[in-house]
Structure 1
Amino acid sequence: MQAGNESSHLQIIPSDENNDDDGWQIVGKKHSRQQHKIQRDGWNQYKLPSDEQQYSNEVEIGDRVEPSEDELTDLSRACEKLWDLDLNRLVPGKDYEIDCGEGKKAFRKGDMAQRSLFTWVNDDVFRKPTFGRFLSLLDNYIPHQGCEEVVTSEQIQEQASFIEELSRTAPIKYVHRYLASKGIVSGSYQDFKRMITGLWFDLYGRGGTSRSSSAFEHVFVGEINQDNEVSGFHNWLQFYLEEAKGRVDYQGYIFPRRRGEIPDSESQILTIQFEWNGILKSVSSTLIGVSPEFEIALYTLCFYAGEENNYIQLGPYAVNIKCYHHGDKIGSVFPIAES
């Protein structure tokens, strides 16, 4: 590792990088100031039987998880409250650094970024329980929509453990109180945990193949559809991991709708263009540095209490949370920067 203030950042090259066990071919890595690798050893504990799992202590923030009358009548206020409750949100420059590169129009071809999007991420980030459990789920899926998913008992345990870990955080507690106050869900927290497990992980058909997709896979992992296009894939941790493996080639940000508002290393919502395993996604959007519990809470809240377009404020960012239903499940949900 380099000396100086970046000594705690990941700098290990992925081993056996041309022979990944899911059959995807590595297309090469763009130059980055540091090489990256996630230490997976700590994730083995997440595969243990349920009676051997160890979880974080319940967060204690008292009345802050009780929605106010203003929040119950104004979804944007509720979402901004979630932003405030995201105690695990990362700090740009302290926990990670991004390099946005050059901007482009969505239709413009060519790579406008000389470097990777992520310069470094502090390895302490992956010791956070919700982050580690989230990352351990990402390799459970076949990205091609035409392939039926086979879910093992071990993967079901990983899903249950992830939701249990999330349920101890403030954003998830708040969403339960919010939806229960509106009569949308049961007041039972156990019932709510079962409901969000089904919402995010139950398999459904997409692209003509039954049991080929789920909300979690589409939104957070990403899929290759029947037209050989990237769909979904809106999570920054998945982007970081795939970029570290050389599967993602970041090609620059998409120009903001308003002139003069150019993203930089401090920005925590980006509209970007990239290739995933050689397949272009011309426009994608993602929140950067937010916690898994925040995204699950935000998108669950908008799915049950919002509309297709949910114009909200998240800290300094004006955002539209676009939410599509697939029957009683999430078809897709993602942020669009409005500024």
Structure 2
Amino acid sequence: MADESGVLRRAVSSATINDVPNPTQEELSNIGLAVQKLWELDKNRLETGVDYTLNVFIAHGKENSTPKPLFNHVDNKVNQLPTYKYFYALLDNYIPQTGIPEVVNDGEKKENERFLKACLQTGPMLYAFKYLKAKGAVKGSITDFENELNKIWFHMYRRQGHEGDSSSFEHVFLGEVGNGKAMAFHNWITFYFYEKVGRITFESLIPLKEGHNKHKNPSGNEHVINLRFSFEGAKKPYSTSFVGTSPEFELAMYSMLFLLKHSDTHVVLDDANLNLKIYPFDQDGMRYIGSAFPMILDPLN
């Protein structure tokens, strides 16, 4: 498969349950190793410096007086790979402001189902299913797992005192605005598409916070970054996000950690030293994901 420039591109990667390895005993006893396996299976992840390039601008103050986009270039495959394409279709299904009840119509429900079905044809999601089955965290068939994912991610809940104004998927993957502040926005694909249409303004990448033993300025080759930005004027002074990872990788990882009740998970991915945070909460007899994101720890070297 080649794009208009003639550059050869990786073909769409899909998988069946038999294509995906069973989790090893070491992985079953160490959730960090299981997350590393998800990373290895993420065949639809974009390659830094090839499939996308970042603007590594670092503002010394809090404001960037000459804003430039975070993404200098992203390969057109984000419009063609099924999970990316179906993820993009979900971006206009939500009202960013908390406190306004969401109305989910039948067409939007079908878009949710189409996205989940596409994810469940990839290595990371099928490995997550096998892992959770082996740990006794899910039961039944892959269809039962799909139904469970639908409840976890797309069932509406109350975030700001109103009925059905939020969901785990909206908060973690799309982001919200509450009391004039941007919240979450931890997914790079959402950031990229919002940036293209002028809804997000990138302000700066951020080195490791003061107090870390070793300081490291971002090079633009990272798969996890710290940054500040604003969404339609609502500020987000500090945020973290994976970059280049597929939607199915993040969905599989956060689902697995949530269902196994891991709130903090230390893992090293592509030389990034991370703590994966999951914030669960209970409402009306159900357990939801309030937020989920990576935290960058001190560099390993």
TM value normalised by structure 2? 0.89
The separation in 2 between residues aligned to 1:228 and 1:242, in whole angstroms, is: 18
Counterpart AA for 2:104: V
Match of 1:37 in 2: none
Match for residue 234 of structure 1? 186
Structure 1 CA distance for aligned equivalents of residues 17 and 127 of structure 2: 11
2:92 match: secondary structure: helix
Local SS of the residue matching 1:271 = strand
Question: 1:307 Cα deviation (Å)?
Answer: 2.4
Aligned-partner Cα distance in 2 for 1:95–1:63: 26
Q: Aligned pair 1:89/2:45, yes or no? A: yes
CA contact (8 A) 1:66 1:178 kept: yes
Distance (Å, rounded) in 1 between the aligned partners of 2:75 and 2:217 = 25
Q: 1:251 aligns with which of 198, 203, 223?
A: 203
Selected match of 1:140 from 76, 93, 105: 93
Q: Matched residues in 1 for 2:38 and 2:149: separation?
A: 17
- Provide the secondary structure at the position in 2 that maps to 1:177: helix
Could you list the per-position Cα deviations for residues 38-65 of structure 1 after superposition, in whole angstroms to 9, with x for gaps in the alignment?
xxxxxxxxxxxxxxxxxx8951584643
Mean Cα deviation higher: 59-68 or 144-153:
59-68
Structure 2 Cα separation of the partners of residues 192 and 112 of structure 1: 47
Correspondence 1:1-339 to 2 at 5 A = 7=5, 59-60=15-16, 62=18, 64-104=20-60, 108-111=61-64, 114-225=67-178, 227-256=179-208, 257-327=212-282, 328-339=287-298
For residues 263 and 332 of structure 1, the distance between their equivalents in structure 2, rounded to whole angstroms, comes to 25
Report the number of matched residues. 285
Counterparts of 2:103 and 2:203, CA distance in 1 = 33
Does the 8 Å CA contact 2:44/2:246 hold for their aligned counterparts?
yes
Cα distance in structure 2, aligned partners of 1:65 and 1:203? 34
- Distance in 1 between residues matched to 2:275 and 2:103, nearest whole Å: 34
Q: Distance in 2 between matches of 1:184 and 1:112?
A: 49
In structure 2, how many angstroms separate the alpha carbons of the residues matched to 1:267 and 1:70? 28
Offset from partner CA, 1:45-98 (integer Å, 9 cap, x none) = xxxxxxxxxxx8951584643111111110100000000000000011211111
CA distance in structure 2 between the partners assigned to 1:306 and 1:74 by the alignment: 14
Letter in 2 for 1:262: N
The match for 1:43 is none
CA distance in 2: counterparts of 1:308 and 1:73, whole angstroms: 16
Work out whether residues 206 and 218 of structure 2, in 8 Å CA contact, stay in contact via their aligned partners in 1. Answer: no
Percent identity (aligned): 35
For residues 180-234 of structure 1, the C-alpha deviation after alignment (integer angstroms, 9 at most, x for no partner) is 1011101411100110011110000011111000001000111111x21111110
Gaps of 5+ in 1: 10-55
CA distance in structure 1 between the partners assigned to 2:26 and 2:15 by the alignment: 24
Residue of structure 2 equivalent to 1:12: none
Q: CA deviation at 1:260?
A: 4.2
- Equivalent position amino acid for 2:37 in 1: K
